[in-house]
Structure 1
Amino acid sequence: MCISTIFIKDLDNSISIAFNREELASRSFKDPDFFIHRNTKIIAGIDSLKGGTWLGINENKIFCLVTNRESSKSKIKSRGTLVLEMLARKNITDCLKHLEEETKNNTYGGFNLIVGNLKDVFYKNNTSDKVTILKKGRHFLSNSFINDKKSKRIKAMSEKCSKLTSSNFVTKMKKNLDLSSLKNNYMPKSSSSIIKITEEKILWLHSSINDDFENWHELETARLFK
């Protein structure tokens, strides 16, 4: 079970993302780093078990993230590999086409997926063929529908983010990502990321159980464009 906050700001044409990955402590993973997949430069973390990712961005400033939804059936394909393949696309049109083709047979476990760039951001889950374009402003995503007012976790995060702006996003989300008071049988967070995407650059801060959450590390995102 993960939680993410997306802030789409039209005035400065930026996108800000905060993401908690929650997973069993025994499930190992690689912290977000630079690599090349299908001839595309990508920064993403990697799940050591299935080889997919929960959050990433590529050289074309296309980002993609996924959270799990409860699923009654055991599916064949890993949701994280869907994100990785989306990040291998060159443009949003190709992303949406790939998303439609890959999910039409319902071979993935339950998921919420967001993919976008500085121009458009889209949301889809496994319960519908519909793809929704997200409007400017704040959006919250956990293991239910996006902006689900019935979700205790989304409600808690929404309240914490009531005064969230593009300029204070990084500072506030360093504190707001801590939802440890909402136990509810959720697994502990294994990593946290805060990303801000602008025309000029990409900022990615990361904190992880791999270093006991002692520090926020800034990733070298300029490697995407070299």
Structure 2
Amino acid sequence: MENVERFEGTYLQWLKAELTGWDRLPWALFGAGVGFQLAILLLNPINWISIVSFIGIFFGMWCTVAMGAGGYNAKGERVSSHAINGLLGALSVAAYVTINLSAGHYWSVLDQLVFLFLIDLPLLKNWRTWSGKSTSIKGLTKTGWVYAIAAILVAWVVLYYVGIYLHDTNPVWDALALAIGGTASWLCFRQYSTTYTLWLISDFVNIALWFTALKDGYSQASLPMLAMSMFYLLTAIVGKINWRPAKSA
């Protein structure tokens, strides 16, 4: 039976350990992202949706940099990500659900819930035994890629037509966001490095989704969410670099 490492300290001690040993780039990205979002908040009318957006985006950006933040644990071992993203992601979900509901992006609401149940909650549950060592990361085979792409395309078509029935404000991009994002969350749950390739594509889709919302003016949160999607694109690139399958010795 595999010997699973356990963190024996308190939860606060674990949080401290999770926030140390990061590479510098993720912290720099997070600081720049928060500063930009704060500028958007202060330079535009402040209301409940702008405040909810800022809070959700703050924790969401922190979550994504933690997911792909390379660094070292207390033993000096190289890790590819940090389990604290489970807590940070869970804190952002309520805000993102509220924002997408107000915008009429119903599939993005479901995308957030899929992320919560497949990634955030398991990390919250297994915080003592979770490990971000790169040796546990797998690559997807060519056959696996074919299945993943086929699943995304089928889901996109089905979700698009259901979205029209539900009066989704942007069924084309919103359906594609869930099709790709849900697949990426599943692959991340199974610890496949391919998840960052899909999240890169998903970020472009979300940029298109929120750009359309900004252009058509149907959501007060469109500008900060558009900026957030661009930030996610950068963190996905960093995560793809750090989340690589381990080479055989």
How does the TM-score come out when normalised to structure 2? 0.29
Task: Please state which structure has a larger fraction of its residues in helix.
Answer: 2
How does the TM-score come out when normalised to structure 1? 0.31
Task: Please state which structure has a larger fraction of its residues in strand.
Answer: 1
For the pair shown, the structure with the greater C-alpha radius of gyration is 2
